[in-house]
Amino acid sequence: MKRTMISQALMALVMGTAALAPAMAQHGTAHGAAAAPAAGSAVQYRPDVTFTLRTDIADGKLVFISESGATKGTANPTLNVAEGAIVQINLVNGDGATHDVSVPDFNAKSNQINAKGSSTSIVFKADKKGVFTYICTLPGHVAAGMIGKIIVGGAVAAPVAKGADISQSPYAVGTPVGARGPKKLTVNLETTEIAGQLADGTTYRYWTFNNKVPGPFLRVRVGDTVEVNMANAKDSHMIHSVDFHAVTGPGGGAAVTQAAPGSTKSFTFKALNPGLYVYHCATPMVAQHISNGMYGMILVEPEGGLAKVDREFYVMQGEIYTAQRHGTQGEAEFSLEKLLNEQPEHLMFNGSHDALTKTHRMEAKVGETVRIFFGVGGPNLTSSFHVIGEVFDRVYSQADLTSPPAKNVQTTLVPPGGATMVEFKVEVPGRYILVDHALSRMEKGLAGFLHVVGKENPDVFRTASKPDADSGH
């Protein structure tokens, strides 16, 4: 039924100007039309280029989907038009929510449509060269993803900001200790300051351990003696240090590792307490160093090691405070004011917006057991960690690995500077979304995907119809 309604709407939209012109009052508002109406007649126009878009939900966001031309099927396609062209944009409602379409720079805005399959249009003259946006003007819809570009006159868009890939692989979990006894280990860390990729078209000056956010996942055994060597890169501008929450000693090691650029500091500690612990830079101002990316985790396994599972993943949540608003292209700059007010513009898993949605593909097979080592770098926000479509079979609260775990948990709280370990068996194929259930944070970049592959399991989950779209919940 849905396909039929949209097809009928598209037929009406592509029948041509003769059919559309008398219906402009129903379909929308035309600003800058090609010709003024004769007395007592409807607006007449002849578009030079026509685009048809459909509203939908994709990857948990509201989007415009192209229904025509070379961009068909693309979300929020870039529309290229000649300078001076008469442009028509048709909009078909594909999701049943209320929407419109507007190009503010050309004073073009349609009326609102809210029935699935309904349609509207705008027409305007692209009489100035440049890069502009088309949007849905409903409150919150731009933030939810309904924004695209219009390039007029072959204008060259501003160069897309590119930085280093600082995102940490969720697979970088190290080697389980197994049944071995205590031994001496060496950990080498380097603190660096690098321009990294925060989001598509946006870079940020990260401060890191070993060029990744979070820093390396360190894996030791209770009773191990660990030597830590921390070198601060020569080209750094700041002093850096490291504070291990697993360390019993002054500042968790930070008191003896305040390293100037080009210097190295060392200390040795004995791992007395099993658990999963955060480490971070502890050089004033500490919150700035952490928010810029200087955090990671160390796992101190109990005697005999952890129980075997099929998949292990390393995931940490962080915040970045920028002067520019979320979504701004180019190099983002740190904002002390927003940090002190605890108002981050960006939240992310494993260092960047795309780390666990595009850059790294977390995957498991139906029937496998998944373990996630989850921590919050912070520095300020508590996470309500949740995997949409799954229940945690076991949650090791506060990363306590020796007490019995909580069972059958939907969402678990993890404070900044804290951690947890969760385990669950994946029963049904599909894409499962990792979130902080303070769900507004998804709009600031905080999401990850776990792809489960394998045979359907109708005894656990089945549906008689294909979902309209991925709503995310």
Task: Please give the annotated binding residues for Cu cation, written as ranges.
Answer: 240, 245, 280-281, 289, 294, 437
Is residue 431 exposed (0-12), middle (13-18) or buried (19+ Cβ within 10 Å)?
middle
Residue 359: CB atoms within 10 A of its CB come to 17
Residues 6+ apart with CB under 8 A from 205: 193, 194, 195, 196, 292, 331, 333, 334
Q: What angle do CA 83, 84, 88 make, to 5 degrees?
A: 100
Phi-psi region of 301 (alpha: psi -120 to 50; beta: other; left: phi over 0): beta
Q: Which residues of 9-40 are buried (b: 16+ CB within 10 A; e: fewer)?
A: bbeebeeebeebbeebeebbbbebbbeeeeee
Residues 6+ apart with CB under 8 A from 456: 428, 429, 462
DSSP letter at 439 equals G
Structure-block tokens of residue 257: 């590792």
For residue 332, which phi and psi values (nearest 5 degrees)?
A: -85, 145
Task: Please give the annotated binding residues, written as ranges.
Answer: 240, 245, 280-281, 289, 294, 437
Q: Which residues of 65-101 are buried (b: 16+ CB within 10 A; e: fewer)?
A: bbbbeebeeebbbebbbeeebbbbbbbbbbbebebbb
Alpha carbon distance 292, 193 (integer Å): 9
Residue 122: CB atoms within 10 A of its CB come to 27
Residue 273: CB atoms within 10 A of its CB come to 15
Structure-block tokens of residue 339: 């940090």
